[in-house]
Amino acid sequence: MAKPRPERRPRKTGPIAERLAKRWEQLALSPSAWLASAEILQACAETIGQPFIDNLMTPPSERKETLESVPRMLFGQVFLLLAGYTIEAQLKGILVAREPIDVTKGSLPGWITKHNLLALLEKVQIELDDPLLDFMRRANMAVVWSGRYPVPKQRDDMDTRIGVSADPCWFRDVYEILDAALKQEISRLEKGNTSCRPSAPKRDADGPTR
C-alpha cells in the first residue's frame, strides 16, 4: 500500500512572515551568504581538528590522562564531517553564483539539498590532485554517515573509517582553492559581469602547498 502524501503546511501570512520569506529568498540566492556559512564551519572544523591531530601526533607514553568522556582521538570523524559541510557550502555558493536557483515556489531545488561532495565538485569543474580527491572522499563519507552515525543506511556501503594526520592540511588546501573560486564569482557578480564565467583555479603539478 502506498504511503499517503504528507499534507502541505499552510503558507504563513502576515508582515513578519513576509519579511522572513523575503529574507529567506535573499539568503538562498546570495553567494556571500554561502561564503559566510562556509567560514563559520571552517572555524569550527579547525577547532575540532587541532586537538585530534595533537593527540594523534603525541606518542602514547607522553599523552596526559584527561577526564574527558570522549577521547580526542575520536574527534577525527567529526572534524571530517565539519570539513565536508564547509566544502559543501563553498561548492553550492559557487554554483548559486553561476546559475541562480529557482526559489519562486518557496523551497530549494532538489540538487542543492543533496550532500554528494564529489558530484558537486564535478559540477563546478574544479580540478584537484589525487591527495585532495582522497581527502574529499573521506569527507564525503563523513557527511553521508561516518561523522554522524555508527553505520550507513545500506550494509553494502559500510567502509573503513580512516582519517590521516595530514587531513587538516588537505582540508586547508581544498578550502583555500574553493574560497578563492567562490570569492572570484562574488567579485564577478559585484562588477555586474554575468555573461562570462572565470576559469576555475587548478593545482600546479607540484601538488598542495604546506
Topology of domain 23-57+71-190 in CATH is: Four Helix Bundle (Hemerythrin (Met), subunit A) (1.20.120)
The grid cell for 103 is 526559489
Q: For the residues of 7-27, what is the DSSP string, one character each? A: PPPPPP-SHHHHHHHHHHHHH
Nearest residue to 171 via CA among 55, 114, 87: 87
pLDDT tens track for 26-54: 888 899 999 999 999 999 999 988 877 77
What is the spatial distance between Cα 175 and Cα 86, in angstroms, rounded to a whole number? 8
What is the spatial distance between Cα 188 and Cα 71, in angstroms, rounded to a whole number? 45
pLDDT tens track for 47-98: 988 877 777 667 766 666 554 677 777 788 899 999 999 999 999 999 999 9
Q: How far is CA 61 from CA 54, 73, 74, 108, 137, in A?
A: 14, 15, 18, 51, 32
Q: Percent of the chain, pLDDT > 90?
A: 42
Residue 200 confidence (pLDDT): 46
Prediction pTM value: 0.78
> Residue 203 — very low, low, confident or very high, per pLDDT cuts 50/70/90?
very low
Domain ranges of the chain: 23-57+71-190
Residue 207 confidence (pLDDT): 45
Residue 7 confidence (pLDDT): 57
